[in-house]
Structure formats: structure tokens, C-alpha cells
Amino acid sequence: MRFVSWNVNGLRACDGKGFRDIFAQLDADFFCIQETKLSAGQIDMAFPGYESYWNYAERPGYSGTAIFTRHKPLNVCMGMGIDEHDHEGRVITLEYNDFYVVTVYTPNSQDGLRRLDYRMTWDDAFRDYVCRLDAQKPVLICGDMNVAHQEIDLKNPKTNRKNAGFTEEERHKFGLLLESGFADTWRRQNPDVIDVYSWWSYRFRAREKNTGWRIDYWLVSERLFPQVTQTRIHTDIFGSDHCPVEVDL
């Protein structure tokens, strides 16, 4: 099975940059997207052989997630069941006989870290949520998690230590998530690989210079990791300021 995740930074914009061709090219069983920036009815998008599930933010043009899948789930859950966190369309969970698939668009702590306190609350709630799932059956978690875990995961760690996405607080919370029983699939398979990123700012020709961050992930329950056959970060695919990330089981 092939699992792909992509922060499209606005699905309508990405659709104008070849999204449907890329979707066909990647040929995934599960194609999860974040930051759709849509409200219901704003795009007509369906693919033969795929079911689709959408979680929209209440605020127009903001956040949002979706999953296209060839495999009809037993159950679909939007959000985490916590009112404080479920108004921005950030989480979708699909349940199957043997596993869960969760796509997440983690809140950004924003300039000046003005949303860092909320982000800490979110990280704790999300960790609790996926741990409850993991107690029932293995979980695959994907998405833009808005944190570069280690210095190896971004180009300029020293100058970003107090910036959103690389604060000690965010990195610590991500570490707690991994310690709770989840494997960072790409880093586990590529422990020493440098200069491979999944997001580049649109400013300062960052992608051209490969001044990037690895903030998009596929995490799996530790007991599922032995079934991982391949992980990929598709740095050659454009259409967003992020690129797709993949895990095959």
C-alpha cells in the first residue's frame, strides 16, 4: 500500500499547477492533503476508484484537510472530539480493520510565537488522541506537523531556535509523541541524510537554494514500522511551498 501526504497550500491554487496529474502520477492508495483552504462546494474534485473525505475550517479560506482513498473505511471521524480544537478542520481519522489513518495539519505557532501556548495545548491533546487510537490498533499519522524535530531537519538551525517550528517547546512535544510509541519513518530509514526537506519559504529563492525545513511526516506505530518498505520525500514535485511525502507498507 502506498500512502502520500501533501500540504497543498490552497487546493484550488495547486489544482492550477498540476495537482490532478501529480495525483495520478503518485498512484497512492491513500492521498492525504492539508491546508485545502476550502469551504464545502468550492471545488469539484473526484477521482475514479477513490472515496474522498473533507474537513473544512469554519473560517473561510483557512486550514482544512482531506483524504482520498481507494479503501472504504469502517468509520470516519472529523477532529479529535474536543471543541477547543475542532473548528479549524485540522484532523481526519479513517478506521480500518487493522489500522487507523490520521491526517493532521498542526497549528503554526506564528510570528512572535503568539500562538505557542495554544500550540502546546494542541500538541498534548493530539498526542493523547493518537495514543488512545494506538491502544486499539496501529496508527499511521501524516501531515504538516509544523515542527522540524532535530537540527538535521532544517538548513539553518542556529538562527531559527526561537522561531515558530523550531522552538525547544515544539521540538520537545514532538519528541514526546515519538516516545509514546511512534516512528518517524523517513528519518528512521535515513538517520544521517542531510539537506532533504519538505517545505521552503516562497521568499529569498529558498527552494532554489534548498534552504528548507522537514516538517511533513509519516509516523507509524512502532509495531507497524517493520512493514515499512520505502519512504520518500518528493522534492522534485512542485505546485506548493511543500512537497509530497510518502510511505509504502
Q: Which residues are catalytic?
A: 105, 144
Kindly report the three-state secondary structure assignment for every residue of 141-171. EEEECCCCCCHHHECCCHHHCCCCCCCHHHH
Name the 3-class secondary structure at 127: helix
Best CA proximity match to 66, nearest among 96, 38, 97: 38
End-to-end CA distance of the chain: 5
β 212-213/100-105 pair status? unpaired
Q: How many CB atoms lie within 10 A of CB 54?
A: 20
Q: Coil, helix or strand for 4?
A: strand
The cell for 204 is: 529569498
List C-alpha distances in Å: 224 to 104, 114, 137, 177, 218: 19, 37, 10, 16, 12
Closest by CA to 40, choosing from 23, 58, 18, is: 58
